[in-house]
Amino acid sequence: MTSTGRIDPRVTRTRQLLRNAFIELMQEKGFATIRIEDIAERATINRATFYTHFENKHQFLDSLIREEIRQHFTSQLPPASRWDERTLRIVIQIVLKYVQETQNHYCSSVQMLRPMMQQAIQEELFDVLMNLFPQPAAFGSAPSITRELLACTSSWAIYGAALQWSREPHARSVESMADALLTVITQGVAHLTPSFEQTENLILSTEE
């Protein structure tokens, strides 16, 4: 860091070299067999420089995932974003695209790395949603509904749906999936759940 609090350009350059080297190696040989020496050599830096920034390759990957998803949120969300459908749609699209991107970058090791990726993405998404949701007083007659509960439920719903979507061989488009997921999150399943009378009528018609 410089005296003004800005990141030293040399640090930024080093991290970019490490990122590029790591992704190339992941695609070539997979996470399990990558050594720190491999990353340093590919990034054209010495091993000591790597250890200046990170303790091991697991910490590096966690930092890389969190930094990337934060950059996506920062660059794509409007300044002073607020809780509305437009903002939530952007958040959902960011997550969908990033989960798909990680599938491509880390394809050979994605199964092994999924717990780490899941934790990093969900936690960063939780923080974004916490900043978007209104204060508890805005929920009026539902005092048990807290910002934490909303952010936790929504972040897991978005990430879980994005993960399942990324696994589908002929998945719908990002836009289509974002619209469907937006409806589920903003309206829940109440309007999709049949009433008691509808259920009784369905049972009766089946028995006839």
Residue pLDDT tens, the chain, 208 long = 434 445 678 878 888 999 899 988 988 888 889 999 999 999 999 999 999 889 999 999 899 899 999 999 999 998 877 888 999 999 999 999 999 888 777 666 767 788 888 999 999 999 999 998 876 655 555 667 788 888 999 999 999 999 999 888 777 899 999 999 999 988 876 655 665 455 455 444 555 5
Would residue 171 count as lying in a domain? yes
Given this model, what pLDDT does residue 82 score?
A: 81
Give the number of domains in the chain. 1
Q: Which domain holds residue 153?
A: 78-208
Integer CA distances (angstroms), 110 to 22, 40, 189, in order: 14, 22, 31
62 part of a folded domain: no
Whether 9 is covered by a domain: the verdict is no
- The answer to whether residue 72 sits within a structural domain is no
In this structure, are residues 105 and 26 in contact, taking their beta carbons and an 8 Å threshold?
yes
pLDDT at 95: 96
Residue 71 within a domain: no
Residues in the chain: 208
Query: Degrees (nearest 5) of the Cα angle 164, 19, 2?
Result: 125
User: Residue 174 falls within a domain, yes or no?
Assistant: yes
What is the Cα–Cα distance from 120 to 128, expressed in whole angstroms?
A: 13
Is residue 200 a part of any domain in this protein? yes
Does residue 114 form part of some domain?
A: yes
Write down the pLDDT at residue 119. Answer: 92
